[in-house]
Structure 1
């Protein structure tokens, strides 16, 4: 664990940096009681307290953050601690007097955070300098690309965002309130949509905006069943559900004027009727 990770850890756990140190290579199943037994073997540490644990990259061992009642600069820490032939050994990591402290200036604090971030991202200050040398060129190319894109959008936008007549609302209810009959609404709507020179997605959006109640539900079902359905598919589904149907008189006239063709089998004739 590097110095910047230790600083961040101490800040998170609200541990005084000058009184903190880290134990490494500690097995995952070690209890705090065993850790305190090992810490008691180090002379002059005063009272100690375990503040946190963190697994290392292997996931088989862990780091342990410990705070002492004395400044670590006043304690002579061995490189490794443990109980011979029983526990350990664990390596100790103590911040030196020249390490960045929690009371550092804003510039030093920023530098600490920056170095920690760069380490996590697997990069360095040299990489940033290389990127910075290309900033002017990249900015020029970026501005040029954005300008070109804006011009294209401005050219295409009048077609998509042209003024249009708002479609009449239709709900498909039996007794619509101030709504047109389906045949009148469908004829008017189809005519308006055909006049528009815009994409099918925009056309579908305009159609959906004017639907209410059962009609809106039908279009929603079509969309769920077929996400790539076109505006024509929506209109066909609406026509199937709300389009005109033949009444009893029309069907009787059609029945009485249906005759068996010469040579036509009776089974075929019956099926046609």
Structure 2
């Protein structure tokens, strides 16, 4: 399980320069669960305040994460929940960890004063050593050179950098950072914006061993512009499942090319699923049993989104 202690969440908040009383971590989140679902559930629970994702620590041994969020108010001044109910979560919900014990106003009723909840014991909130080490390292290196934002959107939005300049700076900065590779990956994710952040998150879920430098090169490969539109479309039509290639790896390569098409505005975001289905049906191996199973599901109007396709593959 990936469930940080309150002290570790406090250190994490400090490392990203956020007021500890304004942050909360959601623990033990499966890799395939969308962060937007967790964020939306937080907003429903905490009210209309703005909620921002500030970081994610991933543990490849259990394929789960702890996600840090900032809330637009002091959430430690009121009674707080211990679990978060979100789409596809277990019956008991996801653990909800504050950096500080919530302080509540003493309210009297016929039942007597409201009680402040006790802090969970260490045995209740285990945290794998690699994750704890990553959070601690982040807290010890508050001052560091940050990367500019990158989304992959064209034309490049104000305040962002194009892929060539961003990659050049990222390669230098990542080498400068004196922290673990886990923290480096976290810092890279903090500077990314959709659709680039979405593509990287999916790629990391499929390749948990991905290093920070490999992440930079992956982005460069995804967003480096081809010579012309015809070359980009040719790359899309030539994505076929290789002999012996896993279905998930094939789908990932196809999604990568679709990301380039989207980035160059050759297809709209609403057309991503249709384009994925068309080339999957053309390019998947007719002799691969799982590929055939998924092909039948698609033709029957089954899974549509990229993540849903991957979930179906993992279930086999």
Which range, TM-score by smaller chain?
0.3 to 0.5
**Greater RCO, 1 or 2 (C-alpha within 8 Å, sep 6+):** 2
Structure whose residues are more often helix by fraction: 1
What is the TM-score normalised by the length of structure 1?
0.32
When normalised by structure 2's length, the TM-score is: 0.28
Looking at CA atoms only, which structure, 1 or 2, has the larger radius of gyration? 1
